Amino acid sequence: MDRVNQHDSSVPAGTPRPKTVVVMPAYNAEKTLEHTYRSIPPDWVDTFIVVDDGSYDRTHAVARELGLAVIRHPHNAGYGANQKTCYTQALAGDAEIVIMLHPDGQYDPKIIPDLVGPLARNQADVVLGSRMLVPGHARAGGMPLYKRIANRFLTWVENLVLGQSLSEYHTGYRAYRRQVIETIPYLRNSNDFVFDTQFLFQAVAFGFRIAEVPVTTRYFPQASSVGFRRSVVYGLGTLQVAMRYVLHRLGWRSRLFWR
């Protein structure tokens, strides 16, 4: 894992910027989608894709009004299922870099150049926007204490199992090179929140390089957030993924980690 200089968001001189697609897995994001979209540096993104996972508000209509490409699930299929649609559509649109950004306003869209830079310079294959990389950022952004404690513990376990040194694995702000999404069998992953954990374990299993850049966040009523009960389920799911990875390395092959 590398920590990259967040102030160096340039691409190599004379090199065209890779086609960059922002995918936004949306669920009841009517009140935050427009602000998120308008906060994105326009010169760094070629295409936007919104996947509305069966929202019961005006998320779909707002996306249409903004002129965004939008796909609507006829029912709520789950966070992981939403991402599966996002990535499949991004690949179909010839994306070279795919950025996954929640449209709920929690993560700062302005750091997109920091996410793209390491990928365009071939310094990394995956770049995570980490809330924990800078001490105090998560607390200042309003992350609840129990989530900070759980994040630290799960990240310690994951680093131990994967041999990495990431500051966190649980951010919802990520950027990938196309090859990562083409290689990882993400359609086998969960349709629920543990999809994100599975994806990063798969990235390590397939030998991709992961880097981090710091991101500030805001926790507020309109920002989507997993409650305590779902957080417990997610934490247990994360530990289960770690165990499956260990067993896979010991010879008990898992479909998550082979093509």
Q: Which tokens go with 57?
A: 């508000």
Confidence band for 88, pLDDT divided at 50, 70 and 90: very high
Q: Which of 149-153, 171-175, 199-203, 216-220 has the lowest mean pLDDT?
A: 216-220
Share of the chain above pLDDT 90, in %: 80
- CATH number of the structural domain spanning residue 42: 3.90.550.10
Q: Which residue stretches of the chain are H helix?
A: 33-38, 59-65, 79-92, 112-120, 137-140, 145-162, 178-183, 195-205, 228-249
DSSP state letters, 35-100:
HHHHTS-GGG-SEEEEEE-S-SSSHHHHHHHTT-EEEE-SS---HHHHHHHHHHHHHHTT-SEEEE
Q: What is the tens place of the pLDDT at every residue in 177-223?
A: 999 999 999 999 999 999 999 999 999 999 999 999 999 888 766 55
| Residues of the domain holding 32 | 2-257
96-114 burial, b at 16+ Cβ within 10 Å, e below that, comes to: bbbbbbbbbbbbbbebbbb
Q: Are 86 and 51 in contact (CB under 8 A)?
A: yes
Cα-based distances in Å from 243 to 13, 26, 162, 194, 258: 44, 30, 11, 14, 16
The mean pLDDT of 98-122, rounded to a whole number, is: 96
In degrees, to the nearest 5, what angle opens at C-alpha 38 toward C-alphas 36 and 42?
115
Residue 1's pLDDT band, with cuts at 50, 70 and 90, is very low
What's the domain count of the chain?
1
pTM attached to this predicted model: 0.91
Sheet with 47-52: list strands edge to edge: 2-3, 210-214, 126-130, 174-177, 97-100, 20-26, 47-52, 69-72
More confident residue, 194 or 15: 194
What average pLDDT does this structure show over 158-167? 98
